[in-house]
Structure 1
């Protein structure tokens, strides 16, 4: 899905973080729900940019034809993007899209601290850009700064209430802190925005199971499995025969 994080809070963080972060690559200037016509981050600051960042007009995560955007790039590609962003920033120091491109590329190369510098600089220039907060939230997840990630995803939903992935991200960060009850409403919001959001059903199902609501968990995990057969592992692991 989208650079998303842990596959479950009981497994390693990185399994899910990879899931979440994969989507981050595709996040540009609109919510990473693969919405068309991404808005320009630089438009909010009056700067112009001739360097487009990846679009998000692609199959949604969880669908059978979805290809993780991060899988299309290699480390040399990310380093090349950093050089491209560096050149752009020399010409236009306040170019928000170039800062975002560089930050995401650094994050992909696991240079999370340096990525934070660029995210912070971009947010100072465009403080109402939801995608900057979203992507910084992903970066914070990789750094295991879960409280900060929750705040960033919250900002993303404030400036873009229709961003399903920001709600999903916030719920996932809460799961990492074992706040399952608090995570459930976030996954519910994500599902309301996208009824076919397989990962949101899966994570909500895991959250229900974690508070011993196994019937609700089964409903969600079976729905997740219908949408994404890979979720069957969670169905077996977290529900099994517990509600029968």
Structure 2
């Protein structure tokens, strides 16, 4: 099996090449991208495993590029930004990123986060295999092989890689409280301070997407303990 391909969309040319060299020495395949058009061309032409996206790649509208990529692709995105505040991390996640890294960052940290995102994808496949190929709950159908979520009418709901992983874990532990730390690990923010809201944003996004007709998604917050999917799950 060939190493995963990492698309490095970085504004600074020197950093692009430095990151590429380090990742290739670390066992990845890496492809630099200097513009939004480079990203679109790469996503169309080859199976990109992860996108490392510089929030400044498109100037003041750089963060919106993350949203544009998410709308057109489900490739995992690690957003890189010059700011490290909680607000920036939350905004990045709201726009569809799976993880957020603040500049300056070490190449070693980036490689570790890339492995975590790729490991998350493997965990999704393992969960799907263990739970057969399909799950149903509260009128929703989950196809693990295709990574699709649809309602009773067959309408698809678009989930990011992080949102799908979060849902898969909740389904795997239905009607059981999942500790917040476990979900933080899934979201790739295990080393963040306890006040970090990244996992809460993911849960909020998932709830919003699985709520319909004035009916809230069956994901509850258990104060001081974590989160729980309250609906019964049928496996097929």
TM-score for both structures, normalised by structure 1: 0.28
Larger strand proportion of the pair: 2
